[in-house]
Chains A and B, each alone.
Chain A
Amino acid sequence: MKVKRAINQVAAVAKTDFLGVVRNKAAIFFTLLFPLFFIVIVGFTFGNTGTGGSSRIIVGVVNLDGELIAVNATKSSNSTIGDQFVQAMEAANFTVWGYDEYGDRDTNGTAAYAISRGHIHAIVVIPANFTETLAFQYVDSMGAPIPTKAHLELYVDPTDPTGSQITQQSILGFTSGFVKYYQQVAIEQAPPNMKEYIKVLADPIIVTTGEIKGTEELPWINYMVPGTLGLVLIWSGLNHASMTITTERTKGTFQRMVIAPVSPMVVLLGKLISALVIVYMSALIMLLSGVLIFQVNLYWNIPVMILAIFLGALSAIGIGLIISSITKNEEAANSIAIIVSVPLQFFIGAFFPLSIMPEAAQVFGNALPFTKMVDAMQDIMTRNLPFDAVIPEILYLTVSGLILFTIGVIVYRIALKRI
């Protein structure tokens, strides 16, 4: 009987809270439609532009320069310049992860596997004859160097069009700089009779960009739509939750609920259910808009999506609950929610890849549960990865969701004492 009564009370609170949003035009806009409005504006404004220059791009390097190859009919395995190239990349602030082989997207430990999961932003394959070519070891029968070019292969993440453009430009820029440095050193060290000849070799290194096998290159919006689910959490979850208790307290309806024989946790549960319904509705609007308006072709793993959104929403609602409980009135709650949510949305990787941001911003962004939600959604929906690929993100979302929601509940209970 008590359980039935509590369920009835939870349903009443949830329904009333939900109607408060859907019957309020301003609330509908800010809670449900603003993320969509925002993405359209930002998308048209920044969608195809990059900010250039990245200091912390993670590059997977497959350095084949040390392999045995035939040079002038003899075996050679010199890797000096390939190693220098890698060291120079690290000196230029690229994060370099070494791989033995390019591999494929299903073989763990290979470069292709890493880039398909978004662990690295690009792959650079250094050919086996890199040193031999640049050291002019290819000679003709007369002993004269044969003009041979070193072919670097560059692969960028096709599922991240904005980030991949920036990554590609950064690596090409670095390579260009390396070439100039190499020419300078080579000319200095070359015998006098070779100096003029080396000057003639304008571009000793050719970089070719390749397609990641098994991964289709996608338009920008395919990357953005899953990312906007992070915005949904912030705008529909955090913002709504930050207003709900404060609004009720300001209007006096919260006090009237406290006077009734209703447990504060029943009220909270009703609010949570309402907030979750609003988050899922907003997410549905975003995804349907992506499919119907922007013709986005995504991969759908509905159970994982529901789970990830739920866990992310726990964090968002937890933060909202904290704001709602510590603020005295609607204006204060609204101001704090805006101060928190507006900057936050730029750190979750929804619009711009975190790799283009300063290191401190990346650390901050990567600590946010919303970023993990965006990562998980992009892995599932854009990269078509299985559930096990997003387990780390799901675990992170679970822990952060439980912690933030628990803190929210504690602060809410404390706030009840000052009604």
Chain B
Amino acid sequence: MNGIEVDSVTKRFEDVVAVDNLSMSVEKGELFGLLGPNGAGKSTLTKMISGVINPTSGTIKVGNYSVQDESTKVKEILGVVPQDIVLYDYLNAKENLAFYGRLYGLSGRKLSDRIKELLEFTQLDEKAVKRHVSTYSGGMKRRVNIAAALLHEPQVILLDEPTAGLDPQNKHALWEIIQSLKKEGKTIVLTTHIMEEAEELCSRVAIMDHGKIIALGSPSQLVKKVKMENTITVVPDKTSTSLLEKIKGMAGVKNVYTAPDETENREILKVITDSPDDILPELVSTIVNQGTKVLSVELSRVTLEDVFITLTGRSLRE
């Protein structure tokens, strides 16, 4: 079974072209990122994939089923996690899951078993499970919101901005959940405008703007497309020519130079590299072995945000 096939899809709302002759495919078991600013067409595309709206032209297949012609079969294998918390706040977590489970045709023992499994997944304690959702924290609601989309064990999952509004701790907890879903072999499309999230989770990323995909590839491939460099800035207590030579001779270092530290009246080291994470430990030990103290280290990495700005001239949050 394939993941998702989008073929020459266009969606018009009167005079506005929300999605413009877009084609892409998501492999089975892939965690695919869909990036773009507000109005780029991400939501329209995911609504078309989930069958909420029909494309003006083009075809979409989910797991070999046509969204337009076999919508019921698509709905059976598709789980959609909306950006907003779409739960009944006057029901508790268990009641919400029971409701959505019954919509997907689950009942009896099978339903109660799935609810039990997913309540463990949400990590809610027994008391919380019995409280109305309106009393939950943002993170608890997010986890139940995701669980509600997983009741029918979908093969393909659409996650729309799943970590929006969460604190770092809850955000990382959700990332773990998403990674665990990938390990289960689910095909996942993650819509986000958080670059760090896409880089951390996605094997491939499509950057959308004005209804089109303007870049597609793995995060590292996309970063390489941009003529920018990763820089490690080191503040040592002293510098020397021999130190510079030692660093320049390290594998993975493209260049090294000194620059004045305007505030402290001393020199800092700028190390240019393609793989800052890999060389950082060796770089620090090389400097220390030369009898030099490392006062601070700062890593400036090329991000997908830089890719987007380079491609569109705009920030993702504009």
Contact = CB atoms under 8 A, between A and B. Distances in A.
A228 B107 CA distance: 40
Given A9-B102, A257-B103, A24 B51 contact: no
Most buried by A among B86, B87, B103, B107: B103
Interface in A19-62: 19-20, 23-24
Interface stretch (B72-80, B214-222, B227-235, B307-315): B72-80
A20 B88 CA distance: 8
Residue of A13, A24, A251 with most chain B CB atoms under a 10 A cut-off: A251
A258 B86 contact: no
A200 B282 CA distance: 132
Interface string A384-400: 00000000000000000
A30 B86 CA distance: 25
Nearest to B104: A260
A260 B86 contact: no
Contacts of A20: 88, 90
B104 A19 contact: no
Contacts of B51: 259
A259 B88 contact: no
Given A19-B91, A24-B90, A262 B103 contact: yes
Interface string B30-70: 00000000000000000000111100000000000000000
Nearest to B132: A23
Contacts of B100: 256, 260
A12 B52 contact: no
A392 B72 CA distance: 45
A257 B104 CA distance: 10
A256 B80 contact: yes
B138 interface: no
B103 A9 contact: yes
A252 interface: yes
A260 to B, nearest CB: 4
Given A252-B84, A259-B75, 9 more contacts: A8-B102, A12-B103, A19-B88, A24-B90, A251-B86, A253-B88, A256-B82, A259-B78, A260-B75
Interface of B: 50-53, 72, 75-76, 78, 80, 82, 84, 86-88, 90-91, 95, 98-100, 102-105, 107, 132, 148
23 contacts: A5-B105, A8-B105, A11-B102, A12-B99, A12-B102, A12-B103, A15-B99, A16-B95, A16-B99, A19-B88, A19-B90, A23-B132, A252-B82, A256-B86, A257-B103, A258-B52, A259-B50, A259-B78, A259-B80, A261-B72, A261-B75, A261-B105, A419-B53
